Amino acid sequence: MPFDVTELVIAIVKALVVFVALLSIVPVLIWMERKVIADIQIRIGPNRAGPFGLLQPLADAIKLIFKENIITQGADKVVYFFAPAVSMVPAIITFAVVPFGDTAHILGRKVLLQVADVNIGILYILALSSLGVYGIVLAGWSSNNKYSLLGGVRSSAQMISYELPLGLALVGPVLLSGSLSLREMINAQGRAGVWFIVPQFLAFAVYLISGFAETNRAPFDLPEAEQELTAGYHTEYSSFRFALFYMAEYVNMVTVGAVATTIFLGGWRGPFGNIVILQPVWFLVKLFAILYFFIWVRGTLPRLRYDKLMKLGWKVLLPLALLNLMVTATVKALAPQSAIPIMSVLSLVLVAIGVIALTIISARSTRTPASGLREPSAEGAFYTWES
Amino acid sequence: MQPINCYLGVSAILFCIGLFGVMTRRNAVGILMSIELMLNAANLNLVAFSAYGPKHGLTGQVFAVFVITIAAAEAAVGLAIVVNLYMNAKHVNVDQVNLMKW
Amino acid sequence: MTGQGVAFAVLAAITIISALLVVTIKNIVRSALFLALSFVGVAGLYILLNAEFLAAVQVLIYVGAITVLMLFAIMLTQQIMSAKISQTTEWFWLALPMALAMLATLIFFFAMRTYPVNPAPDALAVGTTMPLAEALLKPYLLPFELASFILLAALVGAIVIAREEKPGATD
């Protein structure tokens, strides 16, 4: 292969742009999360630092960095310093295979809007997301703290369990597109004229739920349950190392969202999609829609108990992912040409059944006395129980 | 490309390190880790011959896939035995597990 | 030295040095970490050998699952603060010459023969994933199915072995 300096420069610039963009999405996301949660809880949220409290994450970061860096007695120092970086790096380098646009023509050169087009893209993502657990386990172990260790062990079990449905959910779209490359999957969605969320709705749901668990987000944030574990694996961390863990959680969230956007929501495709400059915009719009959903779920659902979490993973999500895989494979084998329309019809039927079932269930549950809340009363108490 | 003997050499060294580990570790988990090293050495050999072999084929890679499958099964069962051993004996040192010896 | 030569040397060094640390250092958790690093090195060697599918599977299964499982077992079974106890048996001085003799034998036979070398075309451009899938599901279908049976048996066996027996449970 002839060595080309310009290609190298382009590759470095692309990697830098993605890296910086990823790290600057994090404060925006933190601000967005605090604002959205405040909205859900009828509060105002951060509003002092900067316009609309926009500078709040910056203020938080400065505060964290100037705090004392505490190391517990008896901690395994090397591993203790190493763990935050270990949880950060896989989350960032997963982004290398996510395409955020088609080919751009810059100064007469064709530039792929993607750091690296790997032909085993999905396997690469799965392999790296399976490394994320190391940071948490090592942090828990090296802190020399029982609660941290419990948090770490819990999370390793949780993440191993949810990796299975996560990976199996991605196989359905792989079957439909016939490729493991993310770029090729976006092209397949363009050729089919429909995003894979339609023929693979079940897979999308399973992927998102497993994604909550993989990123340790509510309602699956057991590894860092404050009430039970005094925060879990990062109890002993302070200052910049804590900030790294905090950032890693958000980078992970962005990564899971970006993969969902690419595989299920058509990636950079959208109206006027052949204008190259619009493609990253579409990508970001879809990405933030999914991230908003993440925050919405966190603001709405209570944390699951640990045994229920395991039950959900092994007895609900894994069978559902297998069912989806089986049906998709059967349809693909019987009708290779019209697999996508058939799957679309099937998943529309599924969604219809789900909506009807939910309506019936919620209609029944309104009759139970558990929902005995009245409208705000005149005395000023917001909610009062019926006596 | 490197001559195939380089890969075979790395594989041989890896295998012998694993062998040494199996013979010297007291901890049952340590023994399992050494066995995984030996399996990796075998896999490296298979993949090297698959890439350099006289007939271009993927037979070596297919075998490596099977070896990885077996290694996963072996690790699961082996670690289950280790956990069971710990529940019964409160330690995982193989040289102290001598109830059947006389 | 070509780029591939440098990559090979670095990856081989990572693999072998971390493997050595796996079997020699006392702290079993760190030893598991070096095991993961060694597996990553082997995955890199797979990429040099044009087996990118196997490299991804290696990271996914060995690093992401098996080593994490081992860490999990270590944390369940160790009094973690007592990592200072001796981790080696009294067989150390017997094992060392035996391993070295084995190594010498292997290297001798590898060096004695020259293998009919026929390097494959640059498969990174083509991709080996699809031919590998064809091979697994056509000529090797029976072993493939058997492997899934072995996995099922291992799954059931692991649960049965590791399950804590309740004191009052019947059967």
DSSP labels, A81-138: HHHHHHHHHHHHHGGGG---SSEEEETTEEEESSS---TTHHHHHHHHHTTHHHHHHH
Ranges A95-104, B60-69, C49-58: which has the least confidence: A95-104
Nearest-CA residue of chain C relative to A77? C30
Separation of alpha carbons B34 and B18, rounded Å: 4
> What is chain A's pLDDT, residue by residue, as a tens digit (387 residues)?
456 777 788 888 888 888 888 888 888 898 888 888 888 888 887 888 778 878 888 888 888 888 877 777 777 778 888 888 888 888 888 888 888 877 777 766 777 777 777 778 888 888 888 888 888 888 888 877 777 888 788 887 888 888 889 989 999 898 888 888 888 888 888 887 888 888 888 899 999 999 888 888 878 776 666 666 666 777 777 777 888 888 888 888 898 899 999 888 887 887 776 777 788 888 888 899 999 999 998 888 888 888 888 888 888 899 999 999 999 899 888 888 887 888 888 888 888 888 898 888 888 776 555 545 555 445 544 444 444
Burial of residue A360 (CB within 10 Å: 0-12, 13-18, 19+) is exposed
Burial of residue A139 (CB within 10 Å: 0-12, 13-18, 19+) is buried
pLDDT band for position C81 (cuts 50, 70, 90): very low
Q: What pLDDT does residue C16 have? A: 92
Q: What pLDDT does residue A333 have? A: 87
pLDDT over 90 for what percent of chain B? Answer: 25
Domain B4-89: CATH class, spelled out: mainly alpha
CATH of domain C1-89: 1.20.120.1200
Which domain range does residue A126 map to?
A: 70-358
The SS3 assignment for A294 reads helix
Chain A residues 164-203 with a CB less than 8 Å from chain C: 180
State whether C63 and A131 contact (CB < 8 Å): yes
- The helices-and-strands tally (H runs, E runs) of chain A is 14, 2
User: Is the whole model's pTM more than 0.90, yes or no?
Assistant: no
Q: Look-up: residue for tokens 């017997």?
A: C94
Separation of alpha carbons C22 and C162, rounded Å: 25
State the DSSP string of C101-113: HHHHHHHHHHHH-
Beta bridge partner(s), residue A109: A106
Q: What is the mean pLDDT of residues C121-142?
A: 75
Chain C residues 40-69 with a CB less than 8 Å from chain A: 52-53, 56-57, 59-60, 63-65, 68-69
Separation of alpha carbons A188 and A183, rounded Å: 9
Phi-psi region of C50 (alpha: psi -120 to 50; beta: other; left: phi over 0): left
State whether A131 and C80 contact (CB < 8 Å): no
The SS3 assignment for B27 reads strand
Chain C CB within 8 Å of residue A144 CB = yes
Token pair for residue A6?
Answer: 């310009």
Q: What is the mean pLDDT of residues B33-59?
A: 84
Cis peptide before A219 (omega within 30 of 0): yes
Please check whether residue A237 is in contact with residue A143, taking contact to mean a CB–CB distance below 8 angstroms: yes
Domain definitions of chain C by residue range = 1-89, 126-171
Beta bridge partner(s), residue A385: A373
Chains B and A touch (3+ CB pairs under 8 A): no
pLDDT band for position C82 (cuts 50, 70, 90): low
Separation of alpha carbons B41 and B34, rounded Å: 11
Most confident listed range (A154-163, B30-39, B44-53, C23-32)? B30-39
Q: What pLDDT does residue A386 have? A: 47
Chain B CB within 8 Å of residue C96 CB = yes
Max Cα distance, chain C (Å): 68
Burial of residue A373 (CB within 10 Å: 0-12, 13-18, 19+) is exposed
Which of A311, A91, A33 has the alpha carbon at shortest distance from A215? A91
Please check whether residue A96 is in contact with residue A116, taking contact to mean a CB–CB distance below 8 angstroms: yes
A369 part of a folded domain: no
User: How many domains, chain A?
Assistant: 1
pLDDT band for position C121 (cuts 50, 70, 90): low
Q: What is the DSSP letter of C119?
A: P
A49 Cβ contact partners less than 8 Å away, ≥ 6 residues apart: A55, A56, A58, A59
Q: What is the mean pLDDT of residues B89-95?
A: 75
Q: What pLDDT does residue C167 have? A: 60
Residues in chain A, total: 387
For residue B19, the distance in angstroms to the closest alpha carbon of chain C comes to 6
Beta bridge partner(s), residue A111: A104
Q: What is the DSSP letter of A181?
A: -
Helices (H), C49-166: 52-57, 67-77, 92-112, 123-126, 129-137, 141-162
Is the confidence at residue C69, as pLDDT, over 90? Answer: no
State whether C64 and A137 contact (CB < 8 Å): no
